[in-house]
A and B are shown apart, each in its own frame.
Chain A
Amino acid sequence: MPAANIQVSETPLVLYALRRADDALVLGHRLSEWCGHAPMMEEDMALSNIALDLIGQARELYTYAAKAEGKGNDEDKLAYLRDVRQYRNLLLVEQPNGDFAQTLVRQFFYSAFADLYWRAMMTSRDATLAAIAAKSEKESAYHLRHASEWIIRLGDGTDESRQRAQAAIDHLWAFTGEMFAADEGERALIHAGIAVDPGTLRGRWMTTLSEVVGEATLHLPQGDWMQQGGRSGRHSEHLGHLLSELQSMQRTFPGQTW
């Protein structure tokens, strides 16, 4: 009898922490898929490092979500016993690794946002979120620097790398809009000074992107159609496969300690 899904009482605060935890775990998991397969050993190290930071962030955020919910869930139940429709991450982070350019562009789009986001969250009125932000901001700053350097190298490298980097930007662009959206529950948290209005970060995010992409001799797409749905559990087909792998042990051997 495989382990069943848990139910989570998604109050605005629980949902808020859960969404950021899912972003960090799913992206960390994606990066961990590179471990042992990167184009050079230095990148095996770097991508694993970033994955470890993100998994660390996820653990803190899940633990906080579980505490805020107060129903006896914990980091592992939240990570391993929710199905695809219960996951709340951005569509961007669940996109497959693709080639190295796609992985780095995905990381660049996300880290350019996360760096601003966590810096702003350091002044959250929620002490736990502010503490998580203080740690995550330092990590995100490094993730952004690493990704930016690669965007520039790939864009201004060879014809092939330039073409691959541009293709990755064009492909992933439509998943970036979701980062700046906030629903009603989040609006209330923003109003209370617990959350940051992501919309206010967009201008600076665009500035970072324009600078790096410009130096890389690449360009940002003109299109403004944006995919949405991750925050409410309407995901791409990719996430289910990721979760079936991530959760396989907990689903096969329910209720055991590892």
Chain B
Amino acid sequence: MYTQALNTAEADDRGLEDAGRAAQFQARIDAEERIEPNDWMPAAYRKTLTRQISQHAHSEIVGMLPEGNWITRAPSLRRKAALLAKVQDECGHGLYLYAAAETLGTSREELVDAMLAGKAKYSSIFNYPTLTWADIGTIGWLVDGAAIMNQIPLCRCSYGPYARAMIRVCKEESFHQRQGYEIMLTLCRGSDEQKAMAQDALDRWWWPVLMMFGPPDATSQHSDTSTKWKIKRFSNDELRQKFVDATVPQAQYLGLAIPDPGMTRDKEGHWRYSDIDWTEFKQVLAGNGPCNRDRMAARRKSHDEGAWVREAAAAYAAKRAQRQTAQAAE
């Protein structure tokens, strides 16, 4: 579903590497060439991307939980099929993102283990609960909308496998976003009760969605390298503003109120939002969001309860390989 700018520092160890190769590498980036898995790359570039892509993959997989919460309760068969297909898409995104991360040399198992051990992060947004059906519409509309804002520039990311994965992911996300908006439209054209459900969902998700773009530029110190390497092309605040400007008219069309009474429109036509409560963001990142513990517990439970299945599949594959070798030897 989505990648988050967490701006974690990476040791800048380029100094230890061949300066000539580093210069050549940067020249390729500057010329908008794609870096491919077998190309030489600075260790910090590899590390930054492994972290970012795997974090993105974890977000897709954990992101299945809040929406999956409504698959069995979707209000019509059409909605049920669409939601199931959507959550399945998120899983598919997770799979190709793990595959993209693996091209950098770390296995899916290691990456998943790091997430289950609480060492790797996933998007903070999935630590909020889906309480009503309107939350499913809101997630599609806003969370996927924010994801698209973040991910469209990643289609031009310097690392080839990530950029290519993003092209496909963005197409599907754009479909999800329209689907979510259509759920909201149906609710807003429905009964008073349905409209109130839609407004309540917007009230709860608005601020957490704005936090998805990461800390304000003034406090981010580590975007510089990512920008230089063309992994990141826009700052957190630039993307956040683009998202707000695109979303406010959509809310107006729905007849919903953005829960920010202080919001104003400036001379250039930008919607200026009020201060974001970064304490809440930090708390959620620190593990204290409403659902952090539930999400991790659910992922660990599936992983632990599925261990015997994975072991069986591996044991069977080994037996079969052995039989084939024995047969070939006869």
Interfacial residues, chain A to chain B (CB-CB below 8 A) = 25, 29, 32-33, 35-45, 48-49, 51-52, 55-56, 58-59, 62, 75-76, 79-80, 99-100, 152-154, 156-158, 160-161, 164, 245-246, 248-250, 253, 256-258
A32 to B80, CA, bound (A): 9
* A55 and B81 contact, Cβ closer than 8 Å, known pairs A40-B309, A258-B186: yes
Interfacial residues, chain B to chain A (CB-CB below 8 A) = 61, 64-65, 68, 71-81, 84-85, 87-88, 91-92, 94-95, 98, 133, 183, 186-187, 190-191, 193-194, 298, 301-302, 305-313, 315-316, 319
Closest residue of B by beta carbon distance from A56: B81
Closest residue of A by beta carbon distance from B301: A37
Interface centre among B183, B305, B308 (most CB of A within 10 A): B308
Question: Secondary structure of the A side of the interface?
Answer: helix
A245 to B61, CA, bound (A): 24
A165 to B305, CA, bound (A): 15
A158 to B310, CA, bound (A): 10
Contact assessment for B81 and A161 in the assembled complex, using a CB-CB cutoff below 8 Å: no
Partner of B302 from the list A32, A37, A152 (CB cut-off 8 Å) is A37
A76 to B302, CA, bound (A): 32
Contact assessment for A33 and B91 in the assembled complex, using a CB-CB cutoff below 8 Å: no
Contact assessment for A59 and B73 in the assembled complex, using a CB-CB cutoff below 8 Å: no
Question: Which residues of chain B come closer than 8 Å to A56, judged between CB atoms?
Answer: 81
Question: Which residues of chain B come closer than 8 Å to A58, judged between CB atoms?
Answer: 77
Cβ of A79 to closest chain B Cβ, rounded Å: 6
A256 to B188, CA, bound (A): 12
Question: Which residues of chain A come closer than 8 Å to B80, judged between CB atoms?
Answer: 32, 55
Question: Which residues of chain B come closer than 8 Å to A37, judged between CB atoms?
Answer: 68, 298, 301-302
A212 to B8, CA, bound (A): 52
Contact assessment for B313 and A59 in the assembled complex, using a CB-CB cutoff below 8 Å: no
* A45 and B95 contact, Cβ closer than 8 Å, known pairs A36-B65, A153-B316: yes
Question: Which residues of chain B come closer than 8 Å to A43, judged between CB atoms?
Answer: 309
Contact assessment for B72 and A33 in the assembled complex, using a CB-CB cutoff below 8 Å: yes
* A39 and B310 contact, Cβ closer than 8 Å, known pairs A44-B91, A45-B91: yes
Question: Which residues of chain B come closer than 8 Å to A160, judged between CB atoms?
Answer: 308, 311-312
